[in-house]
A and B are shown apart, each in its own frame.
Chain A
Amino acid sequence: MASYSTNEFKGGLKVMLDGDPCSIVENELVKPGKGQAFSRVKLRNLITGRVWERTFKSGDSLEAADVLDLDMEYLYNDGEMWHFMKTDGSFEQYAVDKRGLGDTEKWLKEQVAYTVTLWNDNPISVTPPNFIELAVTETDPGVKGDTAQGGSKPAKLSSGAVVRVPLFINEGEVLKVDTRSGEYVSRA
């Protein structure tokens, strides 16, 4: 596998650190006055999601991580694993465990495309699309006449997520939701 030297470090680069695949978040040069340069690097551990901060001597290198982000459609859950299929026409399927799925579990909807991150061809994480359309399965009855103004109430969506919605929303309506913030955007 190739390796990357500190001067090639940049945001998004996938490298191995302490046996785990990581994505570089930021690389800051630390250079006291006339002295030697060091790289202060923030890396996101792609398995745990934790951000590490490490220092490297200028010219040190890290092994590249065999990490790929692929678009895959969610198919079904067999009670233990969640199954996804590549959208490139190959029909190739991958099974993701609960740990790999993480918080994305509450945003799952069949036939929607997710970004599945593979490390050495094993799925390690799943990222939902930024916006997703989901139906309301449970919420208090809508308040007539209340439009954009006013308060909010919790609504449970078909995927299991609970979001704050305006008072006028009713069960059965399909909503557009921002999966990054978990916020209601609009009626779909």
Chain B
Amino acid sequence: MDDWQPSARIETLRARARLLARVRAFFATREVLEVETPVLGHGGSTDVHLAALSLTATTGAGHERLWLQTSPEFAMKRLLAAGSGPIFQLARCFRDGEVGPRHNLEFTMLEWYRPGLALAELIDESVALVRELLPEAGPRRLRRYRELFREQLQVDPFTTPLESLRRLAGEHGGLDMNDADRDGCLDLLMGLVIEPTLGREGIDVVIDYPASQAALARHHRDSEGERVAARFELYVAGLELANGYDELTDAAEQARRFAADNARRRELGKPEVDVDARLLAALEAGMPAGSGVALGIDRLLQLALGKARVEEVMAFASPRC
């Protein structure tokens, strides 16, 4: 058995350590506080397209089911509500079933929150951080989700009839999409057709996502009056690096989205996830308006070091854990 060996070279791990040091320096000069929050929580991510892992722990309260975080978002938002001011974290996250050249069961997420900052300003800061670590990344372009579909697929993600989207997605994927919903079709076209073209000539920042894909972002109106999600994704070289929100601060709306996620999970035969009641209580108490973003550190390192597979930048990728 020779897979006791690291999946990354030792020199890559040195480069990884240097990169993490530069991330910390970037935030230190901007007076963003580094925090550490629990990996385990009483609530997990209800996101229908994420599979949170859980375990049973013996705690002061007896045997409890605890969830491994898919991102440190909930705990960090509770800190914001408690008056922490701007914070960042290099957090270990877990997502069941996510394996492949760009995915690993556990990975490192850089997540940071900026109370009082508008989404456009957070985009600027995210681009500045990416440039700090990828000096060759090139110019930044803002790309509207709707424009990308119009340009590359000649359809409008918001108004083209679902039947046409199903046909188009089925053709591109070579599979039957007749029972897919609108977001399912858009996700397939985004993942297979549009994503690979993004970030090829610089840093592409995709904005104005469909309102149905808001996750934990607010909604707002785009320049054409359409209700869209105040959310962005940042791409370099076909890789999705970061995902940012104008954060939802409305406790009631958040509770509705959690419930809707779990209802959808029941429909799809997926397990329901315990809702983070403490996050809802924190939002109720009042979280300052602002933006937050999550960035995949392993992928950034892949780009910085020219590694094709994510395992090459991790000491021990999941198959060797």
Contacts and interface: CB of A to CB of B under 8 A. Distances in A.
B192 A36 contact: no
B168 interface: no
Contact of A35 (B100, B103, B187): B187
Contact of A38 (B102, B188, B243): B188
B240 interface: yes
Interface of B: 47, 49, 97-103, 173-175, 180, 183-184, 186-188, 190-192, 194-195, 209, 213, 215, 233, 240, 243
A37 B49 contact: yes
A55 B47 CA distance: 22
Contact of A32 (B47, B103, B215, B240): B240
Given A33-B243, A34-B49, A37-B49, A55 B100 contact: no
Interface in A42-83: 54-58, 60
A161 interface: no
B48 to A, nearest CB: 8
Interface residues of A, number: 20
Nearest to A40: B192
B101 A36 contact: no
A55 B170 CA distance: 9
Nearest to A30: B191
Given A30-B191, A33-B233, 6 more contacts: A31-B103, A34-B49, A35-B187, A36-B49, A36-B184, A37-B97
A16 to B, nearest CB: 15
B183 A55 contact: no
Interface of A: 7, 27-38, 40, 54-58, 60
A132 B209 CA distance: 59
Contacts of B184: 36, 57
Contacts of A56: 175
A34 B174 contact: no
Contacts of A28: 100-102
Nearest to B184: A36
Contacts of B187: 32, 35-36, 38
A52 to B, nearest CB: 9
A40 B99 CA distance: 12
